[in-house]
Amino acid sequence: MLDRDSTGRRESPSFLQSLKLLVAGLSSAFHTRLELFVTELEEERERLKQSIILLLLAFFGLSLGLTIGTIFVVALFWERGWIAAIGILALIYLAVGVGAALALRQKVLTRPGLFTATLAELGKDSDRLKRSAHE
């Protein structure tokens, strides 16, 4: 950006003006990336909150249902084989618990990373800065 002074000569922009433009550009880029990060953080917090509520409701409902169901089955077989009924129910509950634990482990191990969009944008910014520094 070259300006003309009163004598018609061209003046280059001052160092201070260039620095101000650079700081303004970096500030704007940082602000955008920070907004993206905050948005992703809020989405993750909401997802976690919903997951915890659903987990508590599922735990409460399944616990109560399994307890009442166990009492019902044992009462049903009280006259003949109530010990076998308790053993079979215990094995079923253990199998369900082990299956759920393995599924949870797999889900935790394959969970995508946090803030992938923010990190991708920061990577793009870094690449652009490296390219512009080499030019």
Residue 87 lies in a domain: yes
Full domain range(s) for residue 111:
29-134
Instruction: Please say whether the beta carbons of 73 and 89 come within 8 A.
Output: yes
Residue 128 lies in a domain: yes
Residue 18 lies in a domain: no
Residue 9 lies in a domain: no
Distance CA 15, CA 36 (A): 32
pLDDT number for residue 8: 55
Q: Mean per-residue pLDDT for 109-128?
A: 77
Distance CA 93, CA 11 (A): 82
Residue 12 lies in a domain: no
pLDDT number for residue 53: 92
pLDDT digits (tens, 9 = 90+) for 7-48: 555 556 688 888 888 888 888 888 888 888 888 888 889 988
pLDDT digits (tens, 9 = 90+) for 64-77: 888 998 999 989 88
With left for phi above 0 and alpha for psi between -120 and 50, is residue 65 left, alpha or beta? alpha
Q: How many domains does the chain have?
A: 1
Q: What is the pTM of this model?
A: 0.52
Q: Which of 118, 111, 123 is nearest to 41 (CA)?
A: 118
Residue 35 lies in a domain: yes
Residue 17 lies in a domain: no
Residue 10 lies in a domain: no
Cβ count within 10 A of residue 74: 15
